[in-house]
Structure 1
């Protein structure tokens, strides 16, 4: 897993560019009063999808 990650980010320039873009998106989200829009992690989004799927399949009575 770590080796694949290192291949995905072969040098520090790309990694720092991605981090800068992420920070800019977070700042843009804060300016528009949507702080959670850009700061949500992928895991949290998957968690939300699972919860909504569970609620769809098994609605509370």
Structure 2
């Protein structure tokens, strides 16, 4: 497994978003769920694998 997939950080993924719900602050559009913790943490705990939907955000420099 590549180093990039092992160290998945949701804030670097284009599917990640922050919700306005106090109890479920973090969301993943690819997996269509909200969580109290980062979605990648939930995925890793449930499946034992890093998130397979991770796509790094494109960086834009102005």
Could you state the TM-score of these two structures normalised by the residue count of structure 2? 0.28
Give the structure with the larger helix fraction. Answer: 1
The one of the two structures with greater contact order (alpha-carbon pairs below 8 A, sep at least 6) is: 2
Give the structure with the larger strand fraction. Answer: 2
